[in-house]
Amino acid sequence: MPLLAVVLAGLAACTGPFPQSTLSPKGDFAQTVDHVFMLTVYLAVGVFILVEGVLLWTIFKFRGKPGDAEPKQIHGSTVVEVIWTIIPAVVLAIVAVPTVQAIFKTAEVPTVSADGKAPLKIEVIGHQWWWEFRYPELGITTANEIHVPLNRTIDLRMKSIDVIHSFWIPQFAGKRDVFPNRETRIWFTPNTTGAFPGACAEFCGEEHGRMDFYLMVDSPDDFASWTTRRQADSTLDNFGFAKPAVVAVPVVPAIPAKAPAAALVADTVAIDPKVAEGQKLVMAKGCIGCHSFNAMHPTKGVIGPNLSGIGTRKMIAGGWLEGSDENLKRWLQHTQEVKPGVGMKIGPVTDAEAAAIIAYLRTKR
């Protein structure tokens, strides 16, 4: 019975889904690698069946019976040895051709992507323990969630700000180490929309295991809408506060109003007293010392993740905790227990304060 339970538990583990599986590629880079892998698997299965088949056949066909004479003693066979040298050589040659082709293909970033446009450049910066993403052509900075358009080749240029990390989105491309002093690159073209998990794949300190992120593959329209929302942040000041919000929320009179009021749709909700209280707390608790809510004006020196659009992010805390109100509250109140060693240090936060801060964060869409 215990054995049956173990077997059933083992089988239950095989039911999936496995979002981090390299065996279900969702882009050209990963498909190229997958083809080489599957070819190798098929050849290995063929060799296995052949070798084990001959072995079993020999065992039964030539097994000794009582009274058998001493078998004939032989010392090598040139014919057999030539055969078992040539067959593996041929198998290796068959594997080598697509392998070398794949190495050259994946090393070179395509100049035109599937949608006919130039590849989208994204700078990836590894931090202990979160990921920063910059879109130099769009002026956008974000963290822990990369948005990319479907069928557009993504050209990633990667660095680390501290130790060696490794960037990995299993369904799109291989792992690539990121270094403090040298740029590494990887590329892929996503062919399926959705949210796909990625991770840091190189031990980089105590929270290495909580250095995840998500790749959001958007339809071109959704990507344009995300881009527009991020760029609308340029109508905010350097703290990411809406400039006219000063009028609506007199608690922060220190921030001068400069921008035209037109584009500030999201921040008109700052009239909600709870949101206004949250906005005040974000300042009072020192959050804005490390975080920027403005994708177009990242914090100088970048201490903490950019929080533009944090209210709609799937995950928080370095991409591994669902972005629910409950988790945000836990994160605000017990940061060092949830992710020990993380750079974020915030004083005591009451339930009411957490609720107000969360209400404010939810306006960042």
Binding site for ligand CUA (CB under 6 A): 126, 129, 165, 200, 202-204, 208, 211
Contact indicator for 153, 122 with CB cutoff of 8 Å? no
Nearer to ligand CUA, 189 or 306 (CB): 306
In this structure, are strands 154-160 and 140-143 parallel, antiparallel, or unpaired?
A: unpaired
Nearer to ligand CUA, 204 or 344 (CB): 204
Q: Closest distance between ligand CUA and the C-beta of residue 29, in Å? A: 21
Q: Closest distance between ligand CUA and the C-beta of residue 154, in Å? A: 20
Q: Closest distance between ligand CUA and the C-beta of residue 327, in Å? A: 21
Q: Closest distance between ligand CUA and the C-beta of residue 134, in Å? A: 18
Nearer to ligand CUA, 126 or 244 (CB): 126
Q: Closest distance between ligand CUA and the C-beta of residue 211, in Å? A: 4
Nearer to ligand CUA, 25 or 126 (CB): 126
Nearer to ligand CUA, 242 or 342 (CB): 342
Task: Find all residues with CB under 8 Å of 100, minimum gap 6, and list them.
Answer: none
